[in-house]
Amino acid sequence: MKVQTTLPDPFKSEKVPPGNVRSSVDMSACSEPDNDCARKLHFRAGDVPQWKQAILLAFQQTMICISGVLVLPYLVSEIACAGVHTIALRVKLISATFVVTGITTVLQTVFGLRLAILQGPSFAFLPPLYAFANLPEMRCKATMNDYVPYEQYSSRIESIQGSLAVAAVLLIVLGSTGLIGTMARHVGPLTICPLLTLLCLGNVPVILEKASLHWISLVQFGLLMLFVMYLAETTVPIPYISERRIKIAKYRLFGLFPYLLSILIAYGVCLVLTLADLIPADSPARIDKEQSMNNLRESPWFQVPYPGQFGVPSINLGLLLGMLASCVACTIESLGAYGILAKVSNEKPPPSSSLNRAIVIEGIGSVIAGFLGVGVGITTYSENVAAVSITRVASRFTMQLAGGILICLGIFTKVGAVMATIPDPMVGGMLAMGVCMIAGVGFGNLEFVDIKLSRNLTIMGTSVILGMVIPDYFTEHPVATGNLHIDQMLNILLTIRMFVGGLIAFFLDNTIGGATREQRGFRDEYTSKDDNEVEADGYAFPERINSFLIKNHGLCKFPFMPSMKRLQATSTTSLGSA
């Protein structure tokens, strides 16, 4: 037998013509971790891998985002308070979430930022949802064994989807008017870090609630920690047949498929416990619950999610304002992710037109999510950005395939029904790891902040502590002005930790002197630049679109379209892949 690892050539730095595929070479020379070839990309933004490899890479990306795609429909279905209909509702939400994630990812990689980016449901929308659900008139008293009339829980979903769809229009306005470039110059690490920290702290009660249901949640979390942290770089020999010979490829199985492997193992443990009847009939770890099995049998094989499938959307003013705050938080989170992705993709900082266009697409995706009843908006998945850095595969084509796979999984309703049988405690373990990774990304934003300055430390401490204290106070002492709509609005906004803390951090960082932009953590070379800067990069449109825009140069006056100077330069040097 011959040991061989087939990987694309990382030494070639020249740009690849449209539609070309990089060749594969033996990477055995790259055994040293500090070797230059180990840091080069296997595929750049416009490169197209071979189909077999591309499909594998795309499937890998879908597995990395699986935690968010699964966890949030579970939580939204509980907020809806559907009683015995919770599992059936969950199946529809999972299918709709898969479809929205796939559509937004395809739009973002084709028309938006045009880098290897995956966008899915955001945890930033959970705080306003829980604040809405905790309003006295909205509190759920039904369990999953209680019957709840359809009209009762559908009205909640209608309020959620209508408020989300209207709030998401803000993202489209921010991108289409060019305000994102201005916003990016004032939102620094001292705003991003407290916001993401408070977002994670706000989800701690949910994690505790889910994890305390059964010890299988610890197994799920422990497996993820083991695969992501301890075994990520461990290679596993995998035999395969090539040219009528048995060969072995060393594959980073745990590092590339941590979520898939951990879910399969933990689910297998639950299956064994269920079949062997080692846990009580009412245990949260069982996978054969009556509602789950009924939905698995009765769910159609194919079903296309459509706008208004839960009813005519309506608007709740308080929830709408809470969703607006979440949209701003998602924008800040995505701007940071765009810069990081550009660096790991070996691309120059995103031009202002690309940033504006990316936020417009994110807004469109959130509007679609609202109309389909997903319940939460869309944001960039930092886990998938990290995967680009780990795998050194920055091809947008693999993400487009991943988007297509997600759409197919959403339409294939039986997949959602199977995933709805995943026990709630496992969801708690996945949510815990996802929140831990988001918290790490938040702390990573402090890389360039001068933490020796008491100014910066005080802003951080003040925003985090007040972001905890103020919401807790108003949770115990709700605002009571006598006007129901005003009370709902203030009680939702003032109980969202990330909104309160993020607003305080933004205000303090932009009004307190005593530090330069560099000491505040700003790196202007990593923020949006003048769109007239000429460069051949992964953000450029294909040649046909460039030619169309040059002929219709009036379109270039929009803030989200590239300038004529840039178009004329990239029309001859663009990587050009769709």
Confidence of residue 576 (pLDDT cuts 50, 70, 90): very low
Sign of the C-alpha dihedral computed for residues 289, 290, 291 and 296 taken in this order = positive
Confidence of residue 364 (pLDDT cuts 50, 70, 90): very high
Beta-carbon-side half-sphere exposure of residue 284 (alpha carbons within 13 Å): 15
DSSP structural state of residue 120: E
Q: How many structural domains compose the chain?
A: 2
* Confidence check: pLDDT of 34 > 60: no
State pLDDT tens for residues 445-476.
Answer: 788 889 889 999 999 999 999 999 998 898 88
Q: List all residues 6 or more positions away from 274 whose beta carbon is below 8 Å from its beta carbon.
A: 285, 286, 287, 288
Q: List all residues 6 or more positions away from 384 whose beta carbon is below 8 Å from its beta carbon.
A: 61, 64, 65, 117, 118, 399
Confidence of residue 529 (pLDDT cuts 50, 70, 90): very low
- Write down the pLDDT at residue 37: 40
- Cα–Cα distance for residue pair 121/410, rounded to 1 Å: 14
Q: Looking at the structure, tell me whether residues 95 and 201 fall in a common domain.
A: yes
Q: Which stretch of 2-16, 101-115, 374-388, 519-533 has the lowest confidence by average pLDDT?
A: 2-16
Mean pLDDT to the nearest integer, 359-383: 88
E strands present in 98-222:
119-121
Q: Looking at the structure, tell me whether residues 216 and 262 fall in a common domain.
A: yes
- Output the CA–CA distances (angstroms, integers) from residue 409 to 96, 101, 122, 307, 371, in the order listed: 10, 11, 19, 18, 19
Q: Looking at the structure, tell me whether residues 427 and 555 fall in a common domain.
A: no
The residues facing 351 across adjacent strands are: 529
Q: List all residues 6 or more positions away from 217 whose beta carbon is below 8 Å from its beta carbon.
A: 210, 211, 425, 426, 428, 429, 432
Q: List all residues 6 or more positions away from 26 whose beta carbon is below 8 Å from its beta carbon.
A: 4, 5, 6
- Write down the pLDDT at residue 18: 40
DSSP structural state of residue 278: -
- Given a contact cutoff of 8 angstroms between Cβ atoms, the answer to whether 171 and 365 are in contact is no
Q: Is residue 18 part of a domain?
A: no
- Write down the pLDDT at residue 545: 80
- Cα–Cα distance for residue pair 168/323, rounded to 1 Å: 8
Confidence of residue 295 (pLDDT cuts 50, 70, 90): low
Nearest to 132 by CA among 160, 111, 105, 109: 160
- Cα–Cα distance for residue pair 406/69, rounded to 1 Å: 10
* Confidence check: pLDDT of 339 > 90: no
* Confidence check: pLDDT of 577 > 60: no
Q: Looking at the structure, tell me whether residues 418 and 550 fall in a common domain.
A: no
DSSP string, 294-325: HHHHHS-SB----TTTTS-----HHHHHHHHH
With pLDDT > 70 as the criterion, what percentage of the chain qualifies? 83
Confidence of residue 256 (pLDDT cuts 50, 70, 90): low
- Coil/strand/helix, residue 127: helix
Q: Which stretch of 13-22, 47-56, 506-515 has the lowest confidence by average pLDDT?
A: 13-22
State pLDDT tens for residues 542-562.
Answer: 777 877 877 777 777 777 777
- Which pair of structure tokens corresponds to residue 61? 């990306």
- Cα–Cα distance for residue pair 541/537, rounded to 1 Å: 10
Q: Looking at the structure, tell me whether residues 475 and 550 fall in a common domain.
A: no
Q: Is residue 10 part of a domain?
A: no
- Given a contact cutoff of 8 angstroms between Cβ atoms, the answer to whether 433 and 266 are in contact is no
189-202 helix and 497-511 helix, angle to the nearest 10 degrees: 160
Q: List all residues 6 or more positions away from 6 whose beta carbon is below 8 Å from its beta carbon.
A: 24, 26, 249
Q: Is residue 147 part of a domain?
A: yes
Q: How many CB atoms lie within 10 A of CB 240?
A: 12
Confidence of residue 180 (pLDDT cuts 50, 70, 90): confident
Confidence of residue 104 (pLDDT cuts 50, 70, 90): very high
- Write down the pLDDT at residue 443: 83
Q: Is residue 451 part of a domain?
A: yes
Q: Looking at the structure, tell me whether residues 507 and 548 fall in a common domain.
A: no
Mean pLDDT to the nearest integer, 222-231: 87
Confidence of residue 100 (pLDDT cuts 50, 70, 90): very high
The residues facing 238 across adjacent strands are: 249
Q: Is residue 43 part of a domain?
A: no
Residue 370, H or E segment: helix 352-372
Q: Looking at the structure, tell me whether residues 420 and 568 fall in a common domain.
A: no
Q: Looking at the structure, tell me whether residues 560 and 458 fall in a common domain.
A: no
Q: Is residue 32 part of a domain?
A: no
Q: What's the count of helices (H) and strands (E) in the chain, helices before strands?
A: 24, 7
Q: Which residue has the higher pLDDT, 368 or 27?
A: 368
Sign of the C-alpha dihedral computed for residues 247, 250, 251 and 254 taken in this order = positive
Q: Is residue 409 part of a domain?
A: yes
- Cα–Cα distance for residue pair 365/381, rounded to 1 Å: 14
- Cα–Cα distance for residue pair 488/167, rounded to 1 Å: 16
Confidence of residue 568 (pLDDT cuts 50, 70, 90): low
- Given a contact cutoff of 8 angstroms between Cβ atoms, the answer to whether 496 and 325 are in contact is yes
- Given a contact cutoff of 8 angstroms between Cβ atoms, the answer to whether 411 and 304 are in contact is yes
* Confidence check: pLDDT of 508 > 90: yes
- Cα–Cα distance for residue pair 205/384, rounded to 1 Å: 26
- Coil/strand/helix, residue 26: strand
Q: Is residue 436 part of a domain?
A: yes
Q: Looking at the structure, tell me whether residues 463 and 552 fall in a common domain.
A: no
Mean pLDDT of the residues in the chain: 78
Q: Looking at the structure, tell me whether residues 160 and 188 fall in a common domain.
A: yes
216-225 helix and 204-211 helix, angle to the nearest 10 degrees: 120
Mean pLDDT to the nearest integer, 118-132: 85
State pLDDT tens for residues 261-271.
Answer: 888 899 899 88
- Which pair of structure tokens corresponds to residue 482? 């006598």
Residue 217, H or E segment: helix 216-225
Q: Looking at the structure, tell me whether residues 550 and 496 fall in a common domain.
A: no
Q: Looking at the structure, tell me whether residues 156 and 228 fall in a common domain.
A: yes
Q: Which stretch of 9-13, 28-32, 119-123, 248-252 has the lowest confidence by average pLDDT?
A: 9-13
Confidence of residue 532 (pLDDT cuts 50, 70, 90): very low
* Confidence check: pLDDT of 423 > 90: no
Confidence of residue 285 (pLDDT cuts 50, 70, 90): confident
Domain membership of residue 142 as a residue range: 51-523
- Output the CA–CA distances (angstroms, integers) from residue 454 to 105, 327, 469, 512, 515, in the order listed: 41, 31, 22, 12, 10
- Cα–Cα distance for residue pair 358/400, rounded to 1 Å: 15
Task: Specify the length of the chain in residues.
Answer: 578
Mean pLDDT to the nearest integer, 412-434: 78
Most confident of 19-28, 285-294, 373-382: 373-382
Q: Which residue has the higher pLDDT, 247 or 162?
A: 162
216-225 helix and 424-444 helix, angle to the nearest 10 degrees: 40
